[in-house]
């Protein structure tokens, strides 16, 4: 199957997961620096202090990106490098991104920048973080600086990465920073993140800037494990909790009432929604970013917040335990097209973790190659069906800090020896390079 000539092949990373240099050039801690220092939060008490040392090795990493042959590189900016304290702009932090992005552009690589990939400055969290509506102003100060300093060099802006993770996983489930377990707090966080997205898009347009801007959601197609009524209820709730809670305000201007009712029955109130908020949230964008990793198979569980738990699935799984489900990837985008939007879609992340072994200087990651091929075939098929997928970013360039899993899960096309910081191209690196060259799978 062929890809169009203008299809964008890319590769993605994020700041906290690769940069390291946690206290250099006046960077102050993010919520992830704080969270990872508390025992029990991150596997093996790993943290991003050094990570892939990308802050010092970005030139070497850009050479890898160039060799891979991608059209575009997706990176994120660390807010605490740009505003290490309230009201204090840090040109040194901005310099790092300017230099790096300039280098990318000189090598003919397009740049997609995520403004928020979860490294909230700790000082903002100390003011209540995303739970406090007024703190959106602090985000706007930061995004304005990014726009005025970098827009010339950037091709595509992503306001937020995966609001479900930044709100629910982080503030209701407590698995990610700041590690809260409070659904009411998480709903406020989700709302303010969505609201800030719309405000940032408005700010961008007010500044008269013209590049593409949008948001990235992580979506999962949900299936009931049986045909029983209650398992179907569970699947509907999971879809509402994970997908519709974000898609509906962005594209239809409301939260899904079935899930509002469910939360209301759990004593959540919705006072944080003000008149006009949904008009802001649904501000027109240029594209939708979708991160896809796996499908969800679920069953009824009366003890759970949303009456739903994961069910046993017989599908083959990646090492992180996620079902390999390329056909369901197609179902997902079909659903998005049917119910929500005609905007061009970028797959801003897709990838898989495996227990890679370095043997005689090589990593033969055939499972990752297989996953990559299956998902790119799905993308090509979606385009045959007319779904208008305009680009695909593989997650990730490098093995890196996989959040609560620390360094235990490797997603990279390039293996990182964390003792020496040596980079070793895996088999999948060469396979992806070949696919990009041929524009064919």
Report if residue 131 touches ligand GCO, rule: CB under 6 A. no
The smaller minimum CB distance to ligand GCO, of residues 120 and 234, is found at 120
Chain centroid offset of residue 411 CA? 14
- The count of residues interacting with ligand GCO (CB under 6 A) is 11
Cβ proximity to ligand GCO: between 328 and 349 the closer is 349
- 3-class DSSP string for the chain: CECCCCCEEEEECCHHHHCCCCCHHHCCCEHHHHHHCCCCCCHHHCCCCCCCCHHHHHHHHHHHHHHHCCCEEEEECCHHHHCCECCECCHHHHHHHHHHHHHHHHCCCEEEEEEECCCCEHHHHHCCHHHCHHHHHHHHHHHHHHHHHHHHHCCEEEEEECHHHHHHHHHCCCCCCCCCCCHHHHHHHHHHHHHHHHHHHHHHHHCCCCCEEEEEEECCCEEECCCCHHHHHHHHHHHHHHHHHHHHHHHCCCCCHHHHHHHHCCCCCCCCCCCCHHHHHCCCCCEEEEECCCCEEEEECCCCCCCEEECCCCCCECCCCCECCHHHHHHHHHHHHHHCCCCCEEEEECCCCCCCCEECCEECCHHHHHHHHHHHHHHHHHHHCCCCEEEEEEECCECCCCHHHCCCCCCCCEEEECCCCEEEECHHHHHHHHHHHHCEC
116: contact with ligand GCO by CB under 6 A:
no
411 lines the binding site for ligand GCO (CB under 6 A): yes
- Respond yes or no: is residue 162 known to be catalytic: yes
Q: How far apart are CA 191 and CA 186, in angstroms?
A: 9
Residue nearer to ligand GCO on the CB measure, 125 or 409: 409
**Of 161-180, which residues contact ligand GCO (CB under 6 A)?**
161-162
Contact 17, 397 (CB under 8 A): no
* Binding-site string for ligand GCO from residue 218 to residue 257, where x marks contact by CB under 6 A and - marks none: x---------------------------------------
Closer CB to ligand GCO, 238 or 307, in the complex = 238
Least distance in angstroms from the C-beta of 74 to ligand GCO: 10
- Residues within window 183-222 making contact with ligand GCO, judged by CB under 6 A: 218
Residue closer to ligand GCO (CB basis): 53 or 231? 53
Active-site residue, selected from the candidate residues 19, 131, 248, 349? 349
String marking each residue 284-303 x if it binds ligand GCO according to CB under 6 A: -------x------------
Least distance (Å) from ligand GCO to the CB of residue 274?
A: 29
In whole angstroms, how close is the CB of 218 to ligand GCO at the nearest point? 6
Shorter beta-carbon distance to ligand GCO: residue 17 or 135: 17
Residues 320-349 that bind ligand GCO (CB under 6 A): 349
Catalytic residue among 162, 328, 367, 402: 162
> 189: which 2 tokens?
């966080």
The verdict on whether 19 is a catalytic residue reads no
Is position 30 an interface residue for ligand GCO (rule: CB under 6 A)? Answer: no
Indicate which single residue of 142, 213, 402, 429 sits in contact with ligand GCO (rule: CB under 6 A).
Answer: 402
Structure token pair of residue 142:
């930061």
**Residues 395, 407, 415, 429: which binds ligand GCO (CB under 6 A)?**
395
Closest-CB residue for ligand GCO? 162
Kindly state the smallest distance separating residue 396's Cβ from ligand GCO, in Å.
Answer: 7
Q: Does 14 bind ligand GCO (CB under 6 A)?
A: yes
Nearer to ligand GCO, 76 or 237 (CB): 76
Q: Which residues bind ligand GCO (CB under 6 A)?
A: 14, 17, 117, 161-162, 218, 291, 349, 395, 402, 411
Catalytic residue positions, numbered: 162, 349
């Amino acid at each position: 199957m062929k890809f169009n000539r203008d299809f964008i092949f890319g590769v993605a990373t994020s700041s906290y997961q690769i940069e390291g240099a946690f206290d250099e050039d006046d960077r102050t801690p993010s919520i992830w620096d704080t969270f990872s220092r508390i025992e029990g939060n991150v596997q093996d008490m790993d943290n991003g202090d050094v990570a892939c040392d990308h802050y010092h090795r970005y030139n070497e990493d850009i050479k890898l990106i160039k060799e891979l042959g991608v059209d575009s590189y997706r990176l994120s900016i660390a807010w605490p490098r740009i505003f290490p304290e309230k009201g204090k702009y840090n040109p040194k932090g901005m310099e790092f991104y300017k230099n790096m992005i300039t280098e990318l552009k000189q090598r003919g690589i397009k740049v997609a920048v995520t403004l928020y990939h979860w490294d909230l400055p700790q000082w903002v969290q100390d003011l209540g973080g995303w739970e406090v509506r007024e703190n959106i102003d602090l985000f706007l100060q930061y995004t304005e600086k990014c726009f005025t300093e970098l827009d010339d060099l950037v091709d595509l802006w992503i306001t937020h990465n995966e609001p479900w993770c930044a709100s629910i996983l982080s503030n209701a489930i407590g698995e990610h920073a700041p590690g809260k377990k409070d659904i009411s707090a998480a709903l406020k966080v989700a709302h303010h993140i969505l609201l800030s997205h719309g405000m940032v898009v408005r700010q961008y347009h007010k500044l008269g800037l013209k590049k593409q801007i949008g948001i990235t959601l992580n979506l999962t197609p949900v299936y009931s494990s049986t045909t029983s009524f209650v398992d179907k209820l569970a699947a509907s709730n999971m879809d509402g909790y994970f997908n519709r809670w974000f898609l509906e305000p962005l594209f239809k201007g409301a939260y899904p009432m079935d899930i509002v009712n469910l939360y209301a029955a759990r004593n959540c109130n919705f006072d944080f929604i003000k008149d006009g908020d949904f008009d802001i949230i649904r501000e027109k964008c240029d594209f939708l970013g979708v991160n896809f990793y796996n499908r969800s198979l679920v069953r009824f569980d009366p003890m759970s917040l949303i009456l739903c738990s994961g069910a046993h699935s017989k599908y083959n799984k990646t090492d992180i335990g996620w079902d390999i489900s390329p056909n369901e990837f197609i179902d997902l985008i079909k659903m998005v097209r049917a119910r929500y939007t005609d905007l061009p879609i970028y797959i801003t992340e897709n990838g898989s973790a495996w227990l890679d072994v370095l043997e005689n200087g090589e990593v033969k990651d055939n499972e990752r190659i297989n996953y990559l091929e299956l998902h790119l075939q799905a993308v090509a098929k979606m385009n045959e069906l007319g779904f208008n997928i305009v680009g695909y970013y593989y997650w990730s360039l490098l093995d890196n800090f996989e959040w609560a899993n620390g360094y235990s899960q490797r997603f990279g096309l390039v293996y990182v020896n964390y003792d020496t910081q040596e980079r070793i191209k895996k088999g999948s690196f060469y396979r992806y390079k070949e696919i990009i060259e041929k524009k064919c799978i």
